[in-house]
Amino acid sequence: MSSPDSLNKPLWSGRFDSAPDAAMLRFSTSLPFDCRLWRYDIEGSIAHVEMLGQCAILPREETQIIADGLRNLAAQIENGELNFDDASDEDIHSFIERHLTAQIGPVAGKLHTARSRNDQIALDVRLYLKDALRAAQSAVRALQRAFLARAEEHFGAILPGYTHLQRAQPVLLSHHLLAYFWMLQRDFERLEENFARADVLPLGAAALAGTTFPIDRQLVAQKLGFAAVSPNSLDTVADRDHLIESTATLSIIALHLSRLAEEMVLWTSPEWDFARLSDAFSTGSSIMPQKRNPDSMELVRGKAARVFGDLTTLWTLVKSLPLTYNRDLQEDKEPLFDAFDTVISSLQIARGVIETVVFNLEKMKSAAGGGFSTATDVADYLVRKGIPFRQAHEITGAAVRQCETSGRGLEALSLDEWRALDARFDEGVFDAVSVEGSVAARQSEGGTAPVRVREQLERAQALLA
Ligand code: ARG
């Protein structure tokens, strides 16, 4: 689909004597990236022109022709008849208007009544953002579901919990997996809050000050499914908070995924051997035949850097910009799109990894007992016998030292050996030093005992139901 050259001039050429420099045109065009907004641009234009008709700002016959023309354009873009490949328009708005004019004639020029590209782009981005936030939410949910399924599957399995990357206390594998479920739950809620603030109609702010035409913004909000209408036209065309806060949420998601990724890289290394990634999410080496690399998780870890970069771009872009619209703001789209694309695909990869990873439960279990991980349980056991915690800590420390010199674990000490350390020890100590006993004893709310983790599982299931 082509159109006469005379139509392919900037929308604002009237007050200029000559065309822009070719390099300037290339430098300033946003079409290569904002073409992605075409559907929203057309949807917004249809709502706008219908409102112009309903408010008797334009004759109904004309608004009908324009709306039909816009629907035709959408169908043509949809089926590939019309594409953006060789277009040299300044932006998506100019592209749509040029083709609309070519197809329905000069009446197309009436579409821009009571509107500016400043409120138009603000609208397009909000429509995009609402869809993108919903898409991110469903990707988060899918990953939560994967964690929940694996937590149910391996209920009862034990592995070491770590602090300082040193074995600390044994925990349930389900408990560890659900830790990610709750991180993602907060992310989901943050996305919901971002959605509420994105869900405000900017159209009608016009260039910056509103319009002289008797438009009905509530009607447009209704047609486009916005919950509210923005209260201040100056703020409306200058505001990019909703992009920034959404990208901040995406950055937190990327941060969470990078922690997961790092753990998977550790767990799948032969040194840990806690897990094996499925073939589908591993890659080989071009030189070392034995290698089985966790590239999927390394890339997820690496892509977090990119998302943080997008956030940095966005708020640096808006910092110190005077009110209201400034062309700098055109630079907001690429980082925004990149952040959503990157985080949604990272969530999808993480989900695939979690769904298919094979856990080495024996290895986890034997590591859980190592490193004197039940020492706190021995101290707690003494406390229950009335010994002050500080003293119990001291006595247990001596037991650890004794085991270290004889190269044994706490579970290997005989009752006589315990008694030699302190006469108050009895058979109960064997329960305290076992990993199962240790885990089962941590019944405080939110703790790792199976009864508590069962509760957690039920809460998590209810959230996803
Ligand atoms: N391409 C512009 C952007 O993305 C659209 C708004 C242009 N407005 C203007 N007055 N030049 O921000």
Give the dihedral of Cα atoms 210, 211, 214, 220; nearest 10 deg: -60
Shortest-distance atom of ligand 1 to CA 207: 10
C-alpha neighbours within 13 Å on the C-beta side of residue 111 = 31
Question: Tell me, what DSSP letter sits at residue 358?
Answer: E
Structure confidence at residue 8 (pLDDT): 65
Q: Give residue 234 CA to ligand 1 midpoint distance, Å.
A: 15
Shortest-distance atom of ligand 1 to CA 93: 5
The residue whose CA has the least distance to atom 3 of ligand 1 is 330
CATH architecture of 369-464: Orthogonal Bundle (1.10)
d(CA 328, CA 317): 7
CA-based torsion, 183, 184, 190, 193: positive or negative: negative
Ligand 1: does its nearest atom lie under 6 Å from the Cβ of 330? yes
CATH superfamily of 119-156+171-212+237-366: Fumarase/aspartase (Central domain) (1.20.200.10)
d(CA 407, CA 321): 66
Ligand 1: does its nearest atom lie under 6 Å from the Cβ of 129? no
Ligand 1: does its nearest atom lie under 6 Å from the Cβ of 30? yes
Structure confidence at residue 370 (pLDDT): 80
Structure confidence at residue 284 (pLDDT): 82
Structure confidence at residue 198 (pLDDT): 98
* Rg, C-alpha atoms of the chain: 31
d(CA 116, CA 196): 25
CB 36 within 8 A of CB 337: yes
Q: Give residue 122 CA to ligand 1 midpoint distance, Å.
A: 9
Ligand 1: does its nearest atom lie under 6 Å from the Cβ of 329? yes
**CATH class of the domain defined by 4-113:** mainly alpha
CA distances from 224 to 86, 103, 124, 134 (A): 31, 25, 11, 16
**DSSP bridge pairs for 159:** 171
Torsion-angle region of 275 (φ positive above 0: left; ψ -120 to 50: alpha; else: beta): beta
Among 35, 127, 330, 331, residue to substitute to test ligand 1 (most atoms within 8 Å of Cβ): 330
C-alpha neighbours within 13 Å on the C-beta side of residue 24 = 5
For residue 3, the SS3 value is: coil
Structure confidence at residue 287 (pLDDT): 79
Of residues 6, 164, 320, 414, which has the active-site annotation? 164
Q: Which helix (H) or strand (E) holds 333?
A: helix 333-356
Q: Give residue 94 CA to ligand 1 midpoint distance, Å.
A: 10
d(CA 10, CA 161): 63
C-alpha neighbours within 13 Å on the C-beta side of residue 65 = 16
Exposure string (b/e) for 320-341, b if CB count within 10 Å is 16 or more? eeeebbeeebbbbbebbbbbbe
Residue 164 annotated as catalytic: yes
Question: Is the omega angle on the peptide bond into residue 313 within 30 degrees of 0, that is, cis?
Answer: no
Q: Which of 362, 385, 373, 449 is nearest to 411 (CA)?
A: 373
d(CA 259, CA 252): 11
Structure confidence at residue 142 (pLDDT): 98
Structure confidence at residue 2 (pLDDT): 40
What are the residue boundaries of the structural domains of the chain, listed by start? 4-113, 119-156+171-212+237-366, 369-464
d(CA 47, CA 213): 16
Structure confidence at residue 384 (pLDDT): 93
Give the dihedral of Cα atoms 371, 377, 379, 385; nearest 10 deg: -160
The residue whose CA has the least distance to atom 4 of ligand 1 is 330
d(CA 317, CA 247): 13
* 297 φ/ψ angles, rounded to the nearest 5 degrees: -75, -30
CA angle 226, 232, 234 (to 5 degrees): 115
* Residue type at position 138: S
Task: Return per-residue pLDDT of the chain as tens, 465 residues.
Answer: 444 444 567 777 788 888 878 899 889 999 999 999 999 999 999 999 999 999 999 999 999 999 999 999 999 999 999 999 989 899 999 999 999 999 999 999 999 999 999 999 999 999 999 999 999 999 999 999 999 999 999 999 999 999 999 999 999 999 999 999 999 999 999 999 999 999 999 999 999 999 999 999 999 999 999 999 999 999 999 999 999 999 999 999 999 999 999 999 999 999 999 999 999 999 887 878 787 899 999 999 999 999 999 999 999 999 999 999 999 999 999 999 999 999 999 999 999 999 999 999 999 999 998 878 889 999 999 999 999 999 999 999 999 999 999 999 898 999 999 999 999 999 999 989 999 999 999 999 999 999 999 999 999 999 999
